């Protein structure tokens, strides 16, 4: 049978004619075809995307196999939320959208938390989910995992698209990439109904349907007026402060930012994920005098930082409201962020690299440094806090407390500044933020704007996969519980990740008691003296139970040196710490007591 005639038709034909038809068919150039699966893979690869974080299942299992066969790295997780967190962290670290691939309905829903968190944190990622057929969903006819995923995703992300025809896959992927990266980065949803993958089209036409995205995050140059207005304000300031946010870290304008700080001589304060843009030991860092610099500054330059809850919305006691008004300069790529909480005297709209370099150029060569009275007062307060901290870090209580355990990690990071820190928890987060100094940009990934638990293992896998550097995950025992099963993922890919679980037997602490007299433990208490290290051993990784700072130091140094997947169960005094760490005041009951 040729591709032109069937057996039955051939039998009816005159043999000479049948031979002629067959020879024409056989000699016709074999026009190749492609399909939806390969168009998705080709579109991603065409745009320099080489890694997919996901979890196989109907209807995307074959897509994962084909992507791997086509040379893409496919990292399979145990829960889609962590695959999504990995995609988001990969986006933050690389300025390319991280890709999270999930099955339909429940898998898609599991990915939504990460998609929403990425959007909130301005991390570029694309959640690609298989889905049910439109015609069935729209008639609500009860398909396998039927759900109107596009409608559900839209409010939680920057943009959302659906592709119904193979020839549109190139456009769909291109639009998702541009939406994730342009302007304020964020999460994008791409809905691919199951039938799309098996659609076939001419290979040549398919190739031409793909789009290589040109300049998805173009430079956004600030106006000369805005730069001059900002510089005039800084010139007249008596107590200026530069506040660096994670947008400044994401922008990868490290040299410009360092020049801005050092040329101006202005003290700076890094938000948690901006730590390391300049070494935390830098003499202009005001981090160890945070309350003082926020209360006393008269002009504040925000660089990729929002005046949201983390900065008390730019108001009240945190900002020394009783000491007179502050003047804010704000550099941001999102114009609508300006005036979101308080009036911004000098908005500078553009990408951070362009804005900061324009400010540095505008400073000229004889910029006057801030008054010594201001920098001297900061130094004095820093000295007091640093001395108090040094005493706390030197102590070696038994069992360990947060300070003694974190002093070990602090020393390890000082020795290996290329290591990446992932940090989540309450006390474990808040103490680590001020104790573990960072020395290089984009080396600290944490709970970010939402303060969300569960980012730990996903962020750790992404950091290890995209950088190849050693990763130290500093985990509260409660926080670790949200993504602990991904320890198997870490072992499966043999990633250089050392997870340190700060085990104090519960959420916040392990000391709460059930007042009712029933056998149930209090809601915030875990199994006492649990051995999280055994979980790592269960999958072939290395587990250590560390009861002293010396044991922790030895295990951590070996883990970082070996690159072997390791989990250290750090036994922490269950009475150490406070409810919710440094944000205890957000608990309504606590707030009422005030
Ligand atoms: C800071 N400090 C230091 C140092 N660094 N002292 C000595 N040495 C060093 N290196 C001082 C700093 O000056 C402050 O003291 C104090 O330590 C606290 O500093 P921190 O942590 O930077 O600032 P603060 O006030 O806690 O910041 C507020 C915040 C932060 C909301 C930005 O708490 C935060 O990011 N929290 C995230 C909370 C969260 O998301 N949690 C998840 C929970 S979920 P003073 O200047 O004397 O005040 C489940 O619970
Ligand atoms: P932090 O929590 O560290 O203060 P935020 O997440 O609140 O940081 O703020 C980050 C800000 O940085 C966002 O308003 C975002 O629009 C902005 N941003 C992100 N990337 C860039 C960039 N390349 N150029 C300018 N602004 C950026």
pLDDT tens per residue across all 594 residues of the chain: 444 456 666 677 777 777 766 766 665 555 699 999 999 999 999 999 999 999 999 999 999 999 999 999 999 999 999 999 999 999 999 999 999 999 999 999 999 999 999 999 999 999 999 999 999 999 999 998 899 999 999 999 999 999 999 999 999 999 999 999 999 999 999 999 999 999 999 999 999 999 999 999 999 999 999 999 999 999 999 999 999 999 999 999 999 999 999 999 999 999 999 999 999 999 999 999 999 999 999 999 999 999 999 999 999 999 999 888 899 999 999 999 999 999 999 999 999 999 999 999 999 999 999 999 999 999 999 999 999 999 999 999 999 999 999 999 999 999 999 999 999 999 999 999 999 999 999 999 999 999 999 999 999 999 999 999 999 999 999 999 999 999 999 999 999 999 999 999 999 898 999 999 999 999 999 999 999 999 999 999 999 999 999 999 999 999 999 999 999 999 999 999 888 888 888 888 765 655
Taking the CA of residue 311 as reference, the ligand 2 atom at the shortest distance is: 4
Whole-angstrom distance, CA of residue 195 vs CA of residue 59: 9
Ligand 2 and 246: CB distance under 6 A: yes
Among protein residues, the one whose CA lies closest to atom 11 of ligand 2: 304
Q: How far away, in angstroms, is 331 Cα from ligand 2 center? A: 9
Among protein residues, the one whose CA lies closest to atom 18 of ligand 2: 247
Q: How far away, in angstroms, is 23 Cα from ligand 1 center? A: 79
Q: Where are the alpha helices (DSSP H) in 334-401?
A: 352-363, 372-394
Ligand 1 and 393: CB distance under 6 A: no
CATH H-level superfamily of 33-209: Thiamin diphosphate (ThDP)-binding fold, Pyr/PP domains (3.40.50.970)
Q: How far away, in angstroms, is 302 Cα from ligand 2 center? A: 10
What local confidence, expressed as pLDDT, does residue 468 receive? 98
Ligand of minimum distance to the alpha carbon of 95 = 2
CATH 3.40.50.970 boundaries in the chain: 33-209, 395-593
Ligand 1 and 287: CB distance under 6 A: yes
What local confidence, expressed as pLDDT, does residue 38 receive? 98
Q: How far away, in angstroms, is 517 Cα from ligand 2 center? A: 49
Task: State which of 186, 268, 333 you would mutate to test the pocket of ligand 2, scoring each by most atoms of that ligand within 8 A of its C-beta.
Answer: 333
Among protein residues, the one whose CA lies closest to atom 31 of ligand 1: 310
Ligand 2 and 245: CB distance under 6 A: yes
What local confidence, expressed as pLDDT, does residue 15 receive? 79
Whole-angstrom distance, CA of residue 129 vs CA of residue 45: 18
Ligand of minimum distance to the alpha carbon of 220 = 2
Q: How far away, in angstroms, is 582 Cα from ligand 1 center? A: 6
Residue 59, preceding peptide bond in cis (omega within 30° of 0): yes
Q: Tokens standing for 1? A: 């049978």
Among protein residues, the one whose CA lies closest to atom 5 of ligand 2: 305
Ligand 1 and 360: CB distance under 6 A: no
What's this model's pTM, rounded to 2 decimal places?
A: 0.94
Ligand of minimum distance to the alpha carbon of 586 = 1
Strand-pair partners of 503: 571
CATH classification number, 395-593, choose in 3.30.429.10, 2.10.240.10, 3.90.1150.10, 3.40.50.970 = 3.40.50.970
Ligand 2 and 337: CB distance under 6 A: yes
Helix (H, G, I), strand (E, B) or coil at 371: coil
Taking the CA of residue 433 as reference, the ligand 1 atom at the shortest distance is: 21
Q: How far away, in angstroms, is 332 Cα from ligand 2 center? A: 6
Whole-angstrom distance, CA of residue 43 vs CA of residue 209: 9
Ligand 2 and 242: CB distance under 6 A: no
Closest CA to 193 of 162, 171, 167, 170: 162
What local confidence, expressed as pLDDT, does residue 2 receive? 45
What local confidence, expressed as pLDDT, does residue 1 receive? 45
Q: How far is CA 158 from the centre of its chain?
A: 15
Ligand 1 and 451: CB distance under 6 A: yes
Q: Where are the alpha helices (DSSP H) in 70-126?
A: 80-94, 106-121
Handedness of CA 463, 464, 467, 471 (dihedral sign): positive
Q: How far away, in angstroms, is 430 Cα from ligand 1 center? A: 6
CATH 3.40.50.1220 boundaries in the chain: 224-377
Ligand of minimum distance to the alpha carbon of 338 = 2
- At the top level of CATH, the class of 224-377 is alpha beta
Whole-angstrom distance, CA of residue 559 vs CA of residue 140: 53
Q: How far away, in angstroms, is 491 Cα from ligand 2 center? A: 34
Phi-psi group of 473: left, alpha or beta (phi > 0 → left; psi -120 to 50 → alpha; rest → beta): beta
Q: How far away, in angstroms, is 179 Cα from ligand 1 center? A: 34
Q: Are strands 346-349 and 327-332 parallel, antiparallel or unpaired?
A: parallel
Task: State which of 270, 280, 290 you would mutate to test the pocket of ligand 1, scoring each by most atoms of that ligand within 8 A of its C-beta.
Answer: 290
């Amino acid at each position: 049978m040729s591709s032109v005639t069937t057996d039955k038709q051939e039998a009816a034909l005159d043999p000479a004619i049948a031979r002629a038809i067959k020879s024409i068919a056989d000699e016709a150039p074999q026009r190749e075809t492609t399909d939806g699966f390969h168009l998705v893979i080709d579109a991603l690869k065409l745009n320099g995307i080489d890694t997919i974080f996901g979890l196989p299942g109907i209807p995307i299992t074959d897509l994962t196999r084909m992507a791997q066969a086509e040379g893409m790295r496919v990292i399979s997780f145990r829960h889609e939320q962590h695959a999504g967190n990995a995609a988001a962290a990969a986006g933050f670290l690389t300025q390319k959208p991280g890709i999270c691939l999930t099955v339909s309905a429940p898998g898609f829903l599991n990915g939504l938390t990460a998609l929403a968190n990425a959007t909130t944190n301005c991390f570029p990622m694309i959640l690609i989910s298989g889905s049910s057929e439109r015609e069935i969903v729209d008639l609500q006819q009860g398909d396998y995992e039927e759900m109107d995923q596009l409608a559900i995703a839209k409010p939680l992300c920057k943009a959302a698209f659906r592709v119904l025809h193979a020839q549109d896959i190139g456009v769909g992927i291109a639009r998702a990439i541009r939406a994730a990266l342009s302007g304020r980065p964020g999460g994008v949803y791409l809905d691919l109904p199951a039938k799309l993958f098996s659609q076939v089209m001419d290979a040549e036409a398919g190739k031409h349907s793909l789009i290589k995205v040109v300049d998805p995050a173009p430079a956004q140059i600030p106006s000369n007026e805005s730069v001059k207005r900002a510089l005039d304000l800084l010139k007249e300031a008596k107590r200026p402060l530069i506040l660096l946010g994670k947008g400044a870290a994401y922008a990868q304008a490290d040299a410009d930012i360092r020049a801005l700080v050092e040329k101006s001589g202005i003290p700076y304060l890094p938000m948690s994920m901006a730590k390391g843009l300049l070494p935390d030991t830098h003499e202009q860092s005001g981090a160890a005098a945070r309350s003082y610099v926020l209360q006393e500054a008269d002009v504040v330059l925000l660089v990729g930082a929002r005046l949201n809850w983390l900065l008390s919305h730019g108001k009240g006691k945190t900002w020394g409201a009783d000491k007179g008004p502050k003047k804010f300069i704000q550099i941001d790529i999102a114009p609508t962020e300006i005036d979101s909480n308080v009036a911004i005297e000098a908005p500078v709209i553009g990408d951070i690299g362009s804005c900061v370099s324009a400010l540095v150029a505008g400073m000229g060569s004889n910029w006057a440094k801030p008054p010594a009275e201001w920098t001297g007062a900061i130094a004095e307060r820093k000295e007091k806090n640093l001395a108090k901290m040094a005493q706390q870090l030197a102590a070696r209580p038994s069992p360990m407390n947060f300070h003694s355990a974190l002093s070990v990690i602090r020393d390890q990071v000082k020795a290996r500044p290329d290591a990446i820190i992932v940090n989540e928890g309450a006390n474990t987060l808040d103490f680590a933020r001020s104790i573990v100094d960072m020395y290089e940009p984009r080396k600290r990934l944490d709970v970010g704007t939402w303060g969300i638990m569960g980012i730990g293992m996903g962020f750790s896998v992404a950091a290890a996969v995209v950088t190849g550097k050693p990763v130290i995950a500093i985990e509260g025992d409660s926080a670790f519980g949200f993504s602990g099963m991904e320890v198997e993922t870490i072992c499966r890919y043999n990633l250089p990740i050392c997870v340190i679980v700060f085990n104090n037997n519960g959420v916040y602490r392990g000391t709460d008691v059930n007042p009712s007299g029933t056998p149930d433990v209090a809601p915030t208490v875990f199994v006492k003296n649990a051995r999280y290290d055994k979980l790592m051993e269960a999958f072939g990784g290395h587990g250590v139970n560390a009861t002293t700072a010396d044991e922790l130091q030895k295990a951590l140094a070996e883990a970082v040196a070996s690159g072997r997947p390791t989990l250290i169960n750090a036994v922490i005094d269950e009475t150490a710490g406070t409810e919710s760490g440094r944000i205890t005041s957000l608990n309504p009951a606590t707030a009422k007591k005030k």
